[in-house]
Amino acid sequence: ATPTSIMVGTGRAAENGILFKGGEHLERTHELEAIILDKTGTITKGKPEVTEFEGDQETLQLLASAEKGSEHPLAEAIVAYTTEKDIELKDVDDFSAIPGHGIEATISTSHILVGNRKLMHDHQIDIEIAEQQLVDFETDGKTAMLIAINGEYRGIVAVADTIKDTAIDAIKELKELGLEVIMLTGDNERTANSIAKQVGIDQVIAQVLPGEKAEKVKEIQLQGKKVAMVGDGVNDAPALAIADIGIAIGTGTEVAIEAADVTILGGELLLIPQAIKMSKATIKNIR
Ligand code: ADP
Ligand code: MG
């Protein structure tokens, strides 16, 4: 490998918004056989908005007051929705986030739970009445969260995120380059499948807990494949680090950028197939 052609290659990539941390990563990118993409903030814009809320005013007020304590994008969407509606938020006495499941809060005499089926199940909340609604939201690609107050189901809130404009084209190009494309998310299976279908991905690994993403990357490596991981979140960092090539979304968190081998500016997904092509061209020059 000639150092000069690699230097030229990384320079040219940088001019295009593909920031390799070192020449060795550019050299190895052409070997990739599989690519795993996180859903929220990677395939989607990561700016979810509330599309539906079903429940009474008190439930909405307690829901938003509880979510004020969370930094999750889903929580931000809920708080923004109530700000628009001029609903006054209450002080929270106790709050805890349950990673991959939701949140739990105490406000005066009310105990509030907001999250997915698993959270409701773990607290023995009967959600039978909401099941069909939940399925309908998920089939639409929305993330739906259930609300329980003092042990009883009280409402449901649905949030939708927009797919990035170039996601479909980028995934098509990756497939044309011969890569196996996989989506990885903490979200539920039905929502994940709906988004995957919209962008042309047929392999989905859903309901993965934040701490388990790296293990999923490892599983694919154990099949003997060279794999890239693309992500933006704090919870993607260990997976980005363990992947053969970790690709961070430039608009993502600092932690993800630090853990990755390459960063794509502006989160433009078309830069990923371009990086692979540039790596191939560089290798060809060397040989
Ligand atoms: P993602 O991979 O999409 O970032 P997470 O692992 O952070 O997903 O969360 C998985 C699921 O846990 C969410 O889809 C949601 O159902 C639930 N959840 C997480 N955080 C919250 C929250 N602040 N409020 C309600 N539900 C939440
Ligand atoms: Mg993400």
1 has a pLDDT exceeding 70: no
Element (H, E) at 111: strand 110-115
Task: Report, as an integer, the average pLDDT of 127-143.
Answer: 97
**Count of H-run helices and E-run strands, the chain:** 12, 13
Q: What is the pLDDT of residue 285?
A: 79
Task: Report, as an integer, the average pLDDT of 147-161.
Answer: 98
Q: In what order do the strands lie in the sheet with 18-20?
A: 18-20, 262-264, 245-249, 227-231, 34-38, 180-184, 203-205
For the CA of 210, the closest atom of ligand 1 is 6
Task: Report, as an integer, the average pLDDT of 257-263.
Answer: 98
Task: Please indicate whether residue 103, judged by its CB atom, sits closer than 6 Å to ligand 1.
Answer: yes
CB 140 within 8 A of CB 161: no
Percentage of the chain beyond pLDDT 70 is: 99
2 has a pLDDT exceeding 90: no
Q: Tell how far the Cα of 276 is from the centroid of ligand 1, in angstroms.
A: 32
121 has a pLDDT exceeding 70: yes
- Average model confidence (pLDDT) for the chain? 96
Task: Please indicate whether residue 48, judged by its CB atom, sits closer than 6 Å to ligand 1.
Answer: no
Q: What is the pLDDT of residue 71?
A: 87
Q: Tell how far the Cα of 50 is from the centroid of ligand 1, in angstroms.
A: 14
81 has a pLDDT exceeding 90: yes
Record the pTM.
0.91
CA torsion sign for 187, 254, 211, 230 is positive
State how far the alpha carbon of 30 is from the alpha carbons of 221, 223, 272, 278, 283, in Å: 16, 18, 11, 8, 8
Task: Please indicate whether residue 102, judged by its CB atom, sits closer than 6 Å to ligand 1.
Answer: yes
- Token pair listed for 113: 């739970």
- Token pair listed for 275: 């990086």
Q: What is the pLDDT of residue 287?
A: 66
3-class SS at 286? helix
